[in-house]
Structures are given as C-alpha cells and as structure tokens.
C-alpha cells in the first residue's frame, strides 16, 4: 500500500512541473544551437556553439558575471547578518512585538520591480530625499549623485535589495531560533557557559540548517537579480550595473537575439547548478541526520 501511495503523492507535483517545463526547456535547448534572431530572419539554421561563443566574445557578458557574483554574495551576506541580528533582537517577547512582526514582512509583499522604482525616486536628484537624509547624519550639505556615481549606485542597489529581502532571512532564522528548546541553554548554563559561548556552541549549530535553506534560496534568487536593475538603473550608467540576468534579458528579449540569450542562460544555469548543488548537499546532511 505504502509503495503505491508514496508515488501517488509526489506524482501531481512532478507532473505539473514536467507538463509546464518540458516544452520550454526542450525548445530553449534547441534555440541555443540554432540561429534564432529576429533581425537575422525567420530561418533557423544550425550554428553549433556559435551562440555560446558569442556571449564570451562580449566583454559586457564577462563583466556581468563577476558583478553578479559579488552583488549576490554581498547582498545575501548583509541580509543574513541583519536578519540574524534582528531575529535575535526580536526573539524574546516585548510589547508591540506582534505589530512589529507584521510591519517587518511588508517589504516582501511589494514587487521587486516596484521597490526598484521607488528607490530610484528616493535617490534621484533633485527630487529625491537621499541627499537630505545624508545631510542629517553627515556634517555639511551632502550632494552625492547616488544613482550615477560609483560606488554609490552599487550601494543603493544593495540597500534596495536588503530592504526587500532581510525580512525573508529574519523570519526563517527567527523560526529556527524559536525552535531551540530552553533545556539546551539551561544545560549550557549549568556548564558555566558565557552568553557568547552559548551562542557559538548552542545557537549557531542548531540554527545552521535553517540558515542554509534561507541562504540557498536567497542566493539563487539574488544570482538572478533582474527586477531592481530593470527599474532602478537599467544597467547603467554605461554597463556598470549589468547583472547576468539583465544582460540576458536585453540580448534575448529586448533585442531578440534569442539564440545568444538562451545559450547564455543555459551556461548561467549550469554555473548556478554547481553552486547550489554544493549548498544543497550541506543542506541535506542535517536533514538526513534529523530523521
């Protein structure tokens, strides 16, 4: 009985995924190896690896890859640290905690493309408030062009992403923290552990699997960073804020060099697969042990 039902239970989920992805994946694999470019015409001759090579010939693609790496790493790192600190701070009850929790999740409900648009509004001169705010905390009058000057535009992009996604880290880590039974701390107390020691040796190891799942999903999404770029900088000035996803979107969708864009997407996915597989193996280990 169990033997049948176990497969029966996974089948609907697997089927709907396959049903909706098999054609797109097959099609995109084919597109990667043929000429599929609106400007070049309606024929689709086989071009071998040309589409893949074409990406590597473009310095913008190469730069976008590195930018994607350090963008996503720094965004997720900041979100992780902030989310962790916030979860620790919010762990014990206090008055108004419930209301704050509701407030904290609000950014998750705003589309990233809209968040990007609004951060653009905050930082643009002369209408934005960024310089006014900076003048409050910084001596003198601040006149930074936040959306055009390096490194400020990177900082703005990262802040926008952090604003949106820290709640995600926060919630998941808080859940992990909340699940640690008091008995463990009591045991650590009895052993004479200092707060810092009990954090390092009790809290961290126990919360690590939760952190990993949050980091994995955030990292995958951050690596595909598109919406905020799309609405905040459009990749500019020049190509200074092109992420790989934005580059591929431009090539494939805006200018309709679909063959090249799709081939790039496949290469990008393979890279991402390696990273996430490595993460997932670490993720699965504690889950396996849990059983």
Partner 1 sequence: MTSVPERSRDAAGATRVVRGGRFRVGGVVRFVFIGVYVAFLLLPLYWMAVTSIKSQDDQLSDPPVWFPSDPTSVNFADALNRFNGWKGLQNSLIIALVTTVLAVALGTTAAYSMARFRTGGKHLAFWFLSQRLMPPIAVIIPIFLLYSRYSEEWFGVTLIDTRIGLILLYTVFALPFTVWMMYAYFRQMPAELEEAALVDGCSRLQALLKIAWPLAAPGIVSAAAFAFIFAWTEFLFAQVLGRSEAVTVPVALAGMITFFQGNLYGQASALTVVSLVPAVLLGILVQRHLVRGLTLGAVQG
Partner 2 sequence: MSDEVFHDPNVPQEDYLSGLRLARRDFLLKSGLAAAAIAAAPTWLQSEQAAAAIKASTSVGAVRDPIAANAVAAAKKHSGFSMGRVNEAGPQALDDKNFSGPLWEKLTGIKTNLTEAPFAQIRTKIITENLAKSGALDSVEVSPAWIPDFADQGVILPIDALVRKNKAQATVADLHPLYRALARYKGKTWGFFDDGDVWALYYRKDIFANAKLKAAYKTKFKRDLRVPRSWDEFNQVAQFITDQMAPKVYGTGMGRALGNPGNQFYFFQQFRANGGRFFNPQTMKAEIANAIGVKTMNQILLQNKASPPGVEKLDFVSGWGLWLQGKTAMIMAWPPTGRISENISQRDKAFSFLPKSQIVGKVGYARVPGQNGEHAGAFIKCVMATSENQDAAYLYNQWATSPSISLQRVMLPYTLRDPYRISHYRSPAYKKLWKGADQYLVTLAEAANDAVLDLSMSGAGDYANALDRAMTSMYAGKDVKEALDEAAREWDSITRKLGVAKQRASYANFLKYPGATSKNTIRKLGQAIKV
Q: Residues interacting with partner 2, by CB under 8 A?
A: 38-42, 54, 57-58, 124-127, 143, 145, 147-150, 233-240, 250, 253-257
- Residue 238: contacted member of partner 1, partner 2, none (CB under 5 to 8 Å, by partner type): partner 2
Stretch that binds partner 1, among 43-51, 52-60, 146-154, 222-230 (CB under 8 A): 222-230
Cβ closer to partner 1: 47 or 228? 228
Contact between 28 and partner 1 per CB under 8 A: yes
- Which of partner 1, partner 2, none does residue 17 bind to, with CB < 5 to 8 Å depending on kind? partner 1
Q: Does 86 bind partner 1 (CB under 8 A)?
A: yes
244 binds partner 1 (CB under 8 A): yes
Q: How far is the CB of 137 from partner 1 (least distance, A)?
A: 11
3-state secondary structure the chain: CHHHHHHHHHHHHHHHHHHHHHHHHHHHHHHHHECCEHHHECCCCECCCHHHHHHHHCHHHHHHHHHHHHHHHHHHHHHHHHHHHHHHHHHCCCCCHHHHHHHHHHHHHCCHHHHHHHHHHHHCCCCCCHHHHHHHHCCCCCCCCCCCCCCHHHHHHHHHHHHHHHHHHHHHHHHHHHCCCHHHHHHHHHCCCCHHHHHHHHHHHHHHHHHHHHHHHHHHHHHCCCHHHHHHCCCCCCCCCCCHHHHHHHHHHHCCCHHHHHHHHHHHHHHHHHHHHHHHHHHHHHHHHHC
Near partner 1 by CB under 8 A: residue from 25, 40, 73, 81: 25
Minimum distance from residue 59 beta carbon to partner 1 (Å): 20
Residue with the two structure tokens 């880590």: 173
Q: Between residues 47 and 170, which has the closer beta carbon with respect to partner 1?
A: 170
134 forms part of the interface with partner 1 (CB under 8 A): no
Q: Is 69 in the site for partner 1 (CB under 8 A)?
A: no
Q: Which does residue 233 touch among partner 1, partner 2, none (CB within 5 to 8 A, set by kind)?
A: partner 2
Single out the segment in contact with partner 1 by CB under 8 A; choices: 45-53, 57-65, 144-152, 279-287: 279-287
Task: Give yes or no for residue 92 binding partner 1 (CB under 8 A).
Answer: yes
Using the rule CB under 8 A, give the single segment among 14-22, 46-54, 58-66, 145-153 that binds partner 1. Answer: 14-22
Dihedral, 267, 269, 272, 276 alpha carbons, nearest 10: -140
């Amino acid at each position: 009985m169990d033997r049948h039902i176990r497969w029966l239970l996974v089948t609907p989920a697997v089927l709907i995924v396959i049903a909706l992805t098999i054609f797109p994946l097959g099609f995109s694999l084919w597109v990667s190896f043929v000429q599929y470019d609106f400007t070049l015409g309606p024929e689709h001759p086989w071009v071998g690896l040309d589409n893949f090579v074409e990406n590597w010939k473009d310095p913008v693609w190469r730069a976008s890859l590195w930018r994607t790496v350090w963008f996503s790493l720094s965004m997720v790192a900041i979100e992780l640290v902030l989310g962790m600190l916030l979860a620790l701070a919010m762990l014990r009850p206090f008055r108004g905690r419930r209301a704050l929790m509701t407030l904290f999740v609000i950014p998750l409900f705003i589309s990233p493309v809209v968040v990007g648009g609004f951060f653009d509004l905050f930082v643009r001169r002369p209408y934005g408030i960024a310089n006014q705010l900076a003048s409050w905390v910084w001596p003198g009058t601040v006149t930074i062009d936040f959306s055009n000057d390096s490194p400020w535009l990177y900082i703005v992009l990262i802040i926008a992403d952090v604003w949106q996604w820290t709640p995600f880290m926060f919630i998941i880590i808080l859940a992990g923290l909340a699940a640690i039974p008091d008995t463990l701390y009591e045991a650590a107390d009895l052993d004479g552990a200092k707060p810092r020691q009990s954090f390092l040796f009790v809290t961290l190891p126990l919360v690590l699997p939760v952190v990993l799942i949050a980091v994995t999903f955030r990292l995958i999404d951050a690596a595909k960073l598109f919406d905020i770029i799309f609405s905040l900088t459009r990749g500019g000035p020049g190509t200074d804020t092109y992420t790989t996803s934005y580059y591929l979107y431009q090539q494939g969708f805006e200018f309709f060099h679909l063959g090249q864009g799709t081939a790039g997407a496949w290469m990008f996915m393979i890279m991402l697969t390696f990273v996430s597989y490595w993460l997932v193996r670490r993720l699965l280990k504690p889950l396996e042990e849990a059983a």
